[in-house]
């Protein structure tokens, strides 16, 4: 079983749509969780951390379910500029390195 | 801040040649990570250093790969001899020890081995 699994997509949505991405992770000892964004031919960049209580940053909402080892990202009112690959990320057991999913590709069209 | 600097940005070489990738982390960061990204396998951690010391190299694919960090401001990833299956984008990232959530990536080196 892969350590972090994501639906690769692509998710093709119109502007203004709400879209949700999910991911599962295998190591119950992982302590920290993140969503990274990667634009085409660019480096990954931190989008937001994910907390057990859920957290929101503008149009983006992240949720964590530790019992199910499940992480989600919700994007409301999608913009063209949201088109990118979204990487689900967890820390290793020691908390010293990041483990990346292969990413989910989002394409927002006008 | 200049961010993480990687060189070269692109490298095309022939099978069997030695390839050296270079990285300058963000000043003050004391953790450095090397990753490889391919369509098939995604982003994989190859090795990471804390305070210039290699901590975990379990992701290094085989003995053809080696990495060094002679000082806090420079690291190299060497492939010798290179093979076509090494073709990928190689990213370097840095952070503070204990600050894994603030890991910053360089722009990457696109390697093509013919």
What was the pLDDT predicted at A1?
Answer: 63
The model's pLDDT over B70-100, given as tens digits with 9 standing for 90+, comes to 999 999 999 999 999 999 999 999 998 777 7
Residue B42: both structure tokens together = 């995604």
Testing the interface with B: which of A27, A39, A44 to mutate, by most B Cβ within 10 A? A44
**Residue B59 in contact with partner chain A when CB distance is under 8 A:** no
% pLDDT > 90, chain A: 81
The model's pLDDT over A1-47, given as tens digits with 9 standing for 90+, comes to 679 999 998 999 999 999 999 999 999 889 899 999 999 999 999 99
* B48/A96 Cβ within 8 A: yes
Give contacts of B33 with chain A, Cβ < 8 Å.
Answer: 97-98
d(CA B63, CA A11): 39
Q: Over range A70-87, report the average pLDDT.
A: 97
Q: Over range B5-17, report the average pLDDT.
A: 97
**Residue B51 in contact with partner chain A when CB distance is under 8 A:** no
What was the pLDDT predicted at B98?
Answer: 73
Give contacts of B35 with chain A, Cβ < 8 Å.
Answer: 100
Contact B86, B21 (CB under 8 A): no
Closest CA to A87 of A8, A32, A28, A19: A8
Neighbours of B1 (CB within 10 A): 7
Testing the interface with A: which of B105, B110, B112 to mutate, by most A Cβ within 10 A? B105
Residue B62 has pLDDT above 90, yes or no: no
Integer Rg of chain B from CA: 13
Integer Rg of chain A from CA: 13
- If 0-12 CB within 10 Å is exposed, 13-18 middle and 19+ buried, where does residue A96 land? middle
* A95/B43 Cβ within 8 A: no
Confidence grade of residue B31 (pLDDT, cut at 50, 70, 90): very high
Q: How far apart are the first and last CA of chain B?
A: 36
What was the pLDDT predicted at A93?
Answer: 85
Cα angle A51, B28, A98 (rounded to 5 degrees) comes to 35
Give chain A's length: 110
What was the pLDDT predicted at B61?
Answer: 87
With CA atoms as reference, the chain B residue closest to A42 would be B107
d(CA A90, CA A70): 11
Q: Tell me the CA distances in angstroms from A101 to A21, A71, B58, B65, one per residue in order.
A: 12, 11, 18, 23
Give contacts of B43 with chain A, Cβ < 8 Å.
Answer: 44, 87, 100, 102
Contact B13, B27 (CB under 8 A): no
The model's pLDDT over B42-59, given as tens digits with 9 standing for 90+, comes to 999 999 999 999 999 999
What was the pLDDT predicted at A97?
Answer: 86
What was the pLDDT predicted at A95?
Answer: 83
Residue among B56, B102, B106 whose CB faces A97 most closely = B56
* B50/A97 Cβ within 8 A: no
What was the pLDDT predicted at A25?
Answer: 96
Residue B1: both structure tokens together = 């801040």
Residue B40 has pLDDT above 70, yes or no: yes
Residues 6+ apart with CB under 8 A from B85: B113
% pLDDT > 70, chain A: 99
Residue B1 has pLDDT above 70, yes or no: no
């Amino acid at each position: 079983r892969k350590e972090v699994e994501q639906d690769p997509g692509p998710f093709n949505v119109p502007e203004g749509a709400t879209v949700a991405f999910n991911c599962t992770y295998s190591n119950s000892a992982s302590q920290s969780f993140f969503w990274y964004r990667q634009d085409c031919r660019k480096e990954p960049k931190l989008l937001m951390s994910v907390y057990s209580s859920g957290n929101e940053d503008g149009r983006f909402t992240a949720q964590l379910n530790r019992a199910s080892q499940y992480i989600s990202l919700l994007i409301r009112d999608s913009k063209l500029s949201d088109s990118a690959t979204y990487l689900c990320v967890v820390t290793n057991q020691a908390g010293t390195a990041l483990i990346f999913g292969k990413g989910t590709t989002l394409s927002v069209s006008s | 801040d200049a961010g993480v600097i990687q060189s070269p940005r692109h490298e095309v070489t022939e099978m069997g040649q030695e390839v050296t990738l270079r990285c300058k982390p963000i000043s003050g960061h004391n953790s450095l990570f090397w990753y490889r990204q391919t369509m098939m396998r995604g982003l994989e951690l190859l090795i990471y250093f804390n305070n210039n010391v290699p901590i975990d190299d379990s992701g290094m694919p085989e003995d053809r790969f080696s990495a060094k960090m002679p000082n806090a401001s420079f690291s190299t990833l060497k492939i010798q001899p290179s093979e076509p299956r090494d073709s990928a984008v190689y990213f370097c990232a840095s952070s503070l020890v204990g600050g894994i959530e603030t890991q910053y990536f360089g722009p990457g080196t696109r390697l093509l081995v013919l």
